[in-house]
């Protein structure tokens, strides 16, 4: 049909499709009209009414036939054919429910895995902040320092200057994750919140559901604006959805705060991985952060930011402008900004939240689910091949009575579409059910709400539709290979399988099995590598004791303790604990290792160490109480531990770690030397062994300790070294606590081993996900292998019978079948090894001290694959040995 | 689809287009006109006429419209489209060529 004609025809066809009854009615009316006109004519020529009627009908012929001919003349549209194929396809699938269920299950799982990972990528990396406007123009903002690979935070004055000077950004805003205690009986719970710039809610386009956001001047001053916006969850759970909550007062740390707003439902803040429960303006920073008033201190880097670009501005253009601003700041304030830059990151590369942990995992997952999808397609393709053999006769008949090969192909692809369509619908359901699965894999933390949602939006739906199309083509075209070879007369005449055809089919099916084995071997090897890596991390000594040390916090701040009272309380509690049987020692520290709470950091100067002019060394430190090193089991290499004598009145002292001693004092003994901390000189009294501070994967770095009394915080972590069980020591501690003050509450108590486990949770998530999908792939591949082997046995009964008749025994036949299965497995494993060695290198950052070519991991994968392959061959092989030569040869 | 065995294949289309080139008509009138013009030589059964009309409509050569006929009876009236006019010209010249050739051959045989 020519284009012009098509242009004319499609409205008619569309109408026939949408209003078939109307079109039919018109056709009947038209023919009826003809008939009546003929009758009139006949009446006019003098016939009786009866005669006129019969004559007219005779002249016309069969009306039903004419109607049908007219319909045929109009032609059948592609859509009509499609609907017809669809009906036929559904009938076919209903006829073999076992096959259909298996195929749909394979595809549902595989497409579901894909859709779930897409939805995580969308919900965690691309559109991580529900309810926040224009996330496509949002970029993360953080600092850089010369000589440091990791991003740093920003200082408040730098942020203000940047916001003033940035012309390419619509909005610049900052936030800082923080926590507070909301006690509930004798349990204290952490609530996670954000300290934000006053423009926060306006900048992200979130309007509080009740009350207001922050006024422009509320981030100015010191403790000047004690106002808080609470989350919908907090409002529901703690304030029982009180509509009068605005204006009520809630104590947060030291100060009562007025509730000015309730955030809308579905808004969780702007920190990937965590659901925020409250927001306070930056002017309240001292109440939540250690280290004093920072809003006028350019050297105090503590906030993390975001910018929203103006429409049409690229990241590179904005970066250029921001770099220029950072360079101006560097030359204006060399004392604090020497070697400092400011950088923009894409949201999914955000350096300061859980996105950076999850990015490499999700990248690997994208590859893994694609593999699973291909394996499932191969499997379903294999099933369809078997069926296409069974339907060979049907296809041949259809060809013989005039169907074109194109028409048959259309039918096969339509059947593929039915399978993949159902699979995609099921897969989206799976993805929806799995949207919070990532959080489940993370270890639970009391009080803090992890939030890692999958997001099923139009982009995820589009990707799923693309996957569906891909699957349709693959599974539809595999059996089409067969129809291509159909030989009309041959197949119609003889109903027995043609030997040549059978061999070709076997070749194709074997190829598909090899692909499945190859892909699942790669996944197995990957899972084994990740498992070994996790094992290595968990077996790496963090440099402190893990199993015999527990840690918790006491809610002194919420109970309104001031500094002198807190000091006295801490000493008293330590004394009481040490008197308990089974407690070796106990010590406070501001930060527990591997926690998400940041260490304090300070620019340093060292006596006798010439700092390069373009470098401002900054080192992190922890505030620890007496006996800290003994309690955590961190060896002191020289010097002494802090004691009660190192208090606020004593000379300032520090203990440095080994790496710091070597970097700044070299071969000399640092004991007795001076170190400048926050502008004040302190004397080194000890050198401690290196340990892990923020992450199990970090390499050794400079770090030091100051006495807690000389840089005090009222709510430090309590570490207890004990041989008593967690519940036991927890109850004992609570008793001691309530003897001192019945109003105090205790935070969740965990061992340091649990702390290590929590900090390695991204690795655990990766291992869990890859293992689940690897297992799925293995199952699919073994089903495929089993299918091919049993088919091969069923096809070659004649040959097997002949062999038996010629003297082969059962063991020979068994071996024959198994060795054939192993041959396929071996080819698959060989290909898998080659591809795997190339691909596992991409896992890079996920592997900790494990070579991507680790022979043990590949060996393990080989062993599992071989065992599973053997198992898949056993039943077919056993069936082969049951061949009765006489029966077979007689047939 | 049955084809009018008494007509040279494809001629029915041309004849219908030619008739409709004069004025829009309904199916019954087209059949009547065919018989009148050809003095009943070309008797086209209604069984062939209607499928042909629907096919021509589908190809965009003619277009249909429901109108009231003389006796206030609603009927489907067909008229020629721009595409149909072009097609008619093509088929007419084709026909002239072929019929000239055929009559030439027939005369040759007589001689």
Q: What is the mean pLDDT of residues A186-190?
A: 68
The domain total for chain B is: 1
Residues A293 and A416 in one domain: no
Domain extent for B46:
11-110
Of A27, A44, A75, the residue at which a domain comes to its end is A75
Q: Is the pLDDT of residue A685 over 90?
A: yes
In chain A, what residues touch B27 (CB-CB under 8 Å)?
30, 33-34
Alpha-carbon distance B11 to nearest alpha carbon in chain A (angstroms): 16
- The per-residue pLDDT for range A539-572, each reduced to its tens digit, is 888 999 988 999 998 878 777 788 899 999 999 9
- A217 in B contact zone (CB under 8 Å): no
User: Beta A301-309 vs A169-184: how paired, if at all?
Assistant: antiparallel
The domain total for chain A is: 4
DSSP assignment of A491-554? HHH--SPPHHHHHHHHHHHHHHHHHHHHHHHHHHHHHHHHHHHHHHHHHS--SS--SSEEEEEB
Sorted by sequence, the CB contacts under 8 Å of residue A784 that are 6+ apart come out as A375, A378, A379, A382, A512, A513, A516
Round to whole Å and give the CA distance between B44 and B3: 10
Sorted by sequence, the CB contacts under 8 Å of residue B53 that are 6+ apart come out as B16, B27, B30, B62, B64, B78
Round to whole Å and give the CA distance between A799 and A793: 9
- A134 lies in some domain: no
Task: Give me the pLDDT at residue A448, please.
Answer: 63
Q: Is the pLDDT of residue A495 over 90?
A: no
Q: What is the DSSP letter of A229?
A: E
- The per-residue pLDDT for range A514-527, each reduced to its tens digit, is 988 999 899 899 88
Whether residue B84 contacts residue B64, with contact meaning beta carbons closer than 8 Å, is answered with no
Do the chains contact at A5 and B59, CB–CB below 8 Å? yes
Residues A442 and A571 in one domain: no
User: Beta A187-196 vs A278-281: how paired, if at all?
Assistant: parallel
Residues A708 and A777 in one domain: no
Q: What is the mean pLDDT of residues A755-768?
A: 84
Task: Give me the pLDDT at residue A14, please.
Answer: 76
Residues A566 and A510 in one domain: no
Do the chains contact at B51 and A62, CB–CB below 8 Å? no
- The per-residue pLDDT for range A379-393, each reduced to its tens digit, is 888 888 877 777 777
Q: What is the mean pLDDT of residues A243-249?
A: 92
Do the chains contact at A8 and B45, CB–CB below 8 Å? no
Other C-beta atoms lying within 10 Å of the C-beta of residue A551: 22
pLDDT-derived band at A614 (thresholds 50, 70, 90) equals low
DSSP assignment of A326-391? HHHHHHH-HHHHTTEEEEEEEGGG-TTSTHHHHHHHHHHHHHHHHHHHHHHHHHHHHHHHHHHHHT
Count residue pairs from A and B with Cβ separation < 8 A. 78
| 3 state DSSP class of A624 | strand
Alpha-carbon distance B109 to nearest alpha carbon in chain A (angstroms): 38
Alpha-carbon distance B96 to nearest alpha carbon in chain A (angstroms): 24
Whether residue A304 contacts residue A153, with contact meaning beta carbons closer than 8 Å, is answered with yes
Give the 3-state DSSP-derived string for chain B, with helices as H, strands as E and coil as C.
Answer: CCCCCCCCCCHHHHHHHHHHHHCCEEHHHHHHHHHHHCCCCCCCCHHHHHHHHHHHHHCCCEEEEEEECCCCCEEEEEEECHHHHHHHHHHHHHHHHHHHHHHHHHHHHHC
- A133 lies in some domain: no
- B38 lies in some domain: yes
Q: Is the pLDDT of residue A534 over 90?
A: no
Q: What is the mean pLDDT of residues A102-130?
A: 89
Q: Is the pLDDT of residue A628 over 60?
A: yes
- B87 in A contact zone (CB under 8 Å): no
- B6 lies in some domain: no
- A544 lies in some domain: no
Round to whole Å and give the CA distance between A7 and B59: 9
Residues A382 and A481 in one domain: yes
Residues A708 and A649 in one domain: yes
- B47 in A contact zone (CB under 8 Å): yes
Task: Give me the pLDDT at residue A627, please.
Answer: 93
Q: What is the mean pLDDT of residues A406-429?
A: 87
Q: Is the pLDDT of residue A500 over 50?
A: no
Tell me the CA end-to-end span of chain A in Å, nearest whole number.
54
Round to whole Å and give the CA distance between A51 and A47: 6
- A399 lies in some domain: yes
- A754 lies in some domain: no
- pTM for this predicted structure: 0.75
Residue A874: Cβ-neighbour burial (10 angstroms; 0-12, 13-18, 19+): middle
- What ipTM was assigned to the predicted interfaces of this complex? 0.85
| 3 state DSSP class of A649 | coil
Which residues are paired to A188 by β-bridges?
A: A183
Tokens (6 digits) for A320: 């250029």
Residues A733 and A780 in one domain: no
Do the chains contact at B58 and A9, CB–CB below 8 Å? yes
- B28 in A contact zone (CB under 8 Å): yes
Alpha-carbon distance A8 to nearest alpha carbon in chain B (angstroms): 5
pLDDT-derived band at A503 (thresholds 50, 70, 90) equals low
Whether residue A423 contacts residue A107, with contact meaning beta carbons closer than 8 Å, is answered with yes
What's the Cα-to-Cα distance from A26 to each of A71, A72, A742, B64, rounded to whole Å? 12, 15, 90, 11
Higher pLDDT, A417 or A442: A417
Measuring CA to CA, which residue among A165, A173, A221 is closest to residue A197? A173
Round to whole Å and give the CA distance between A27 and B50: 10
- B111 in A contact zone (CB under 8 Å): no
Of A709, A744, A779, the residue at which a domain comes to its end is A744
Residues A769 and A722 in one domain: no
- The per-residue pLDDT for range A342-387, each reduced to its tens digit, is 999 999 888 888 788 788 888 888 888 999 999 998 888 888 887 7
Do the chains contact at B46 and A73, CB–CB below 8 Å? no
Residues A210 and A341 in one domain: yes
The radius of gyration of chain A from alpha carbons, rounded to an integer in Å, stands at 37
Round to whole Å and give the CA distance between A581 and A267: 48
What's the Cα-to-Cα distance from B16 to each of B23, B27, B62, rounded to whole Å? 11, 10, 10
Phi/psi for A340 (5° steps) reads: -105, 140
Residues A487 and A374 in one domain: yes
Tokens (6 digits) for A830: 């060989």
- B85 in A contact zone (CB under 8 Å): no
Give contacts of A 6-25 with B, CB under 8 A.
7-9, 12
Measuring CA to CA, which residue among A746, A748, A772 is closest to residue A758? A748
- A45 in B contact zone (CB under 8 Å): no
Task: Give me the pLDDT at residue B1, please.
Answer: 38
From the list B1, B59, B83, which residue is nearest A72 (CB)? B1
Residues A391 and A498 in one domain: yes
- B26 in A contact zone (CB under 8 Å): yes
Chosen from A2, A73, A75 to mutate, greatest number of chain B CBs within 10 A: A73
For chain A, give the percent of residues with pLDDT over 70.
94
- B72 in A contact zone (CB under 8 Å): no
Domain extent for A701:
556-744
Q: How would you classify residue B48: left for phi > 0, otherwise alpha for psi between -120 and 50, otherwise beta? A: alpha
- A131 lies in some domain: no
In chain B, what residues touch A69 (CB-CB under 8 Å)?
1-2, 47, 50-51
- B103 lies in some domain: yes
Sorted by sequence, the CB contacts under 8 Å of residue A501 that are 6+ apart come out as A485
Q: For residue B50, what is the domain's CATH number?
A: 1.10.10.10
- B2 lies in some domain: no
Q: How would you classify residue A627: left for phi > 0, otherwise alpha for psi between -120 and 50, otherwise beta? A: left
- B77 lies in some domain: yes
Other C-beta atoms lying within 10 Å of the C-beta of residue A57: 14
Do the chains contact at B60 and A7, CB–CB below 8 Å? yes
pLDDT-derived band at A235 (thresholds 50, 70, 90) equals very high
Length of chain B: 111
From the list A9, A33, A62, which residue is nearest B59 (CB)? A9
Task: Give me the pLDDT at residue B2, please.
Answer: 39
- The per-residue pLDDT for range A696-735, each reduced to its tens digit, is 888 888 999 999 999 888 878 999 999 999 989 999 998 9
In chain A, what residues touch B80 (CB-CB under 8 Å)?
none
Residue A741: Cβ-neighbour burial (10 angstroms; 0-12, 13-18, 19+): middle
Whether residue A589 contacts residue A708, with contact meaning beta carbons closer than 8 Å, is answered with yes
- B40 lies in some domain: yes
Helix (H) and strand (E) counts in chain A: 29, 24
Give contacts of A 816-875 with B, CB under 8 A.
none
Per mean pLDDT, which range of A330-339, B67-76, B96-105 is the poorest?
B67-76
Alpha-carbon distance B108 to nearest alpha carbon in chain A (angstroms): 39
Tokens (6 digits) for A211: 């009350």
């Amino acid at each position: 049909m020519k284009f012009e004609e098509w242009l004319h025809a499609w409205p008619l066809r569309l109408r026939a499709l949408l209003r078939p009854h109307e079109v039919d009615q018109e056709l009947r009316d038209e023919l009826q009209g003809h008939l009546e006109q003929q009758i009139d004519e006949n009446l006019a020529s003098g016939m009786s009414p009866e005669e006129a009627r019969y004559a007219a009908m005779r002249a016309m012929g069969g009306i039903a036939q004419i109607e049908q001919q007219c319909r045929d003349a109009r032609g059948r549209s592609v859509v009509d054919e499609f609907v017809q194929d669809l009906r036929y396809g559904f009938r076919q699938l209903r006829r073999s429910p076992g096959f259909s269920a298996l195929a749909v299950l394979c595809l549902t799982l595989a497409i579901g895995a894909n859709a779930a990972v897409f939805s995580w990528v969308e919900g965690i990396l691309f559109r991580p902040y529900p309810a926040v406007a224009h996330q496509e123009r949002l970029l993360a903002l953080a600092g850089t320092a010369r000589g440091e690979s990791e991003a740093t935070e920003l200082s408040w004055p730098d942020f203000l200057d940047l916001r003033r000077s940035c012309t390419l950004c619509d909005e610049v805003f900052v936030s800082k994750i923080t926590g507070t205690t909301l006690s509930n009986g004798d349990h204290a719970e952490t609530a996670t919140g954000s300290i934000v710039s006053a423009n926060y809610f306006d900048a992200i386009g979130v309007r509080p559901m009740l009350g207001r956001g922050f006024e422009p001047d509320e981030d100015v001053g010191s403790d000047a604006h004690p106002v808080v916006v609470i989350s919908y969850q907090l409002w529901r759970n703690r304030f029982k959805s009180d509509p009068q909550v605005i204006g009520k007062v809630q104590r947060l740390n030291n100060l009562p705060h007025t509730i000015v707003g309730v955030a809308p439902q579905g808004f969780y803040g702007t920190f990937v991985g965590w659901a925020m429960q409250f927001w306070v303006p930056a002017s309240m920073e001292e109440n939540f952060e250690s280290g004093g008033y920072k809003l006028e201190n350019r050297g105090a880097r503590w906030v993390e930011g975001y910018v929203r670009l103006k429409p049409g501005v690229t990241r590179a253009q904005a970066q250029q402008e921001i770099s220029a601003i950072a360079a101006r700041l560097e030359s204006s304030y060399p004392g604090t900004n020497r070697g400092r830059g400011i950088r923009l990151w894409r949201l999914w590369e955000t350096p300061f939240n859980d996105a950076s942990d999850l990015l490499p995992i999700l990248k690997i997952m994208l590859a893994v689910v694609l593999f699973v999808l291909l394996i499932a397609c191969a499997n379903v393709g294999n099933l369809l091949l078997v069926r296409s053999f069974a339907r060979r006769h049907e296809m041949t008949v259809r060809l013989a009575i005039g169907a074109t090969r194109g028409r048959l192909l259309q039918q096969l692809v339509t059947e593929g579409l039915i399978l993949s369509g159902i699979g995609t619908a099921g897969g989206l359901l799976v993805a929806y059910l799995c949207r919070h699965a990532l959080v489940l894999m993370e270890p639970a933390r009391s009080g803090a709400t992890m939030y890692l949602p999958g997001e099923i939006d139009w982009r995820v739906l589009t990707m799923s539709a693309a996957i569906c199309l891909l699957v349709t083509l693959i599974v539809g075209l595999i059996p089409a290979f067969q129809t291509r070879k159909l030989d009309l007369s041959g197949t119609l005449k003889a109903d027995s399988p043609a030997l040549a055809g059978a061999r070709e089919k076997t070749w194709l099916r074997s190829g598909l099995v090899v692909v499945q084995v190859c892909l699942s071997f790669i996944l197995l090897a990957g899972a084994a590598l990740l498992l070994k890596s996790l094992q290595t991390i968990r077996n790496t000594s963090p440099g402190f004791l893990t199993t015999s040390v527990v840690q918790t916090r006491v809610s002194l701040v919420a109970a309104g303790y001031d500094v002198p009272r807190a000091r006295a309380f801490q000493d008293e509690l330590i004394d009481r604990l040490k008197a308990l049987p089974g407690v070796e020692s106990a010590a406070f520290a501001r930060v527990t290792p591997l926690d998400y709470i940041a260490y304090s950091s300070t620019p340093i100067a060292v006596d006798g160490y010439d700092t390069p002019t373009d470098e401002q060394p900054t080192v992190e430190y922890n505030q620890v109480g007496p006996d800290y090193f003994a309690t955590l089991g961190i060896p002191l290499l020289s010097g002494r531990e802090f004691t009660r004598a190192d208090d606020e009145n004593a000379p300032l002292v520090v203990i440095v770690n080994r790496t710091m001693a070597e970097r700044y004092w070299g071969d000399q003994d640092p004991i007795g030397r001076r170190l400048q901390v926050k502008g004040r000189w302190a004397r080194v009294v000890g050198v401690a062994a290196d340990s892990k501070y923020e992450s199990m994967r970090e390499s050794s770095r400079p770090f030091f300790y100051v006495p807690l009394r000389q840089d005090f915080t009222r709510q430090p972590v309590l570490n207890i070294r004990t041989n008593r069980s967690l519940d036991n020591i927890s109850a004992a501690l609570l008793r001691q606590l309530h003897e001192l003050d019945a109003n105090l509450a205790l935070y969740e108590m965990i061992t340091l081993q649990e702390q290590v486990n929590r900090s390695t949770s991204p690795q655990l998530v990766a291992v869990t996900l890859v293992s689940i999908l690897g297992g799925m792939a293995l199952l699919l591949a073994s089903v495929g292998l089993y299918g091919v082997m049993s088919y091969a046995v069923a096809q070659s009964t004649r040959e097997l019978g002949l062999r038996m008749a010629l003297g082969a025994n059962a063991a020979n036949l068994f071996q024959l079948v198994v060795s054939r299965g192993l041959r396929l497995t071996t080819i698959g494993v060989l290909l898998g090894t080659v591809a795997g060695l190339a691909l596992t290198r991409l896992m890079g950052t996920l592997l900790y001290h494990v070579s991507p070519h680790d022979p043990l991991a590949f060996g393990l994968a080989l062993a599992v694959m071989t065992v599973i392959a053997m198992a898949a061959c056993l039943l077919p092989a056993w069936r082969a040995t049951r061949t009765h030569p006489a029966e077979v040869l007689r047939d | 689809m049955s084809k009018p065995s008494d007509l040279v294949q494809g001629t029915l289309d041309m004849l219908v287009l030619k008739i409709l080139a004069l004025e829009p008509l309904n199916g019954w009138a087209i059949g009547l006109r065919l018989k009148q013009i050809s003095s009943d030589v070309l008797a086209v059964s209604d069984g062939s006429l209607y499928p042909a009309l629907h096919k021509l409509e589908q190809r965009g050569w003619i277009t249909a419209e429901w109108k009231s006929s003389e006796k206030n009876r609603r009927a489907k009236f067909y008229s020629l489209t721009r595409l149909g006019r072009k097609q008619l010209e093509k088929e007419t010249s084709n026909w002239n060529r072929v019929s000239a050739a055929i009559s030439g051959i027939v005369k040759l045989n007589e001689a």
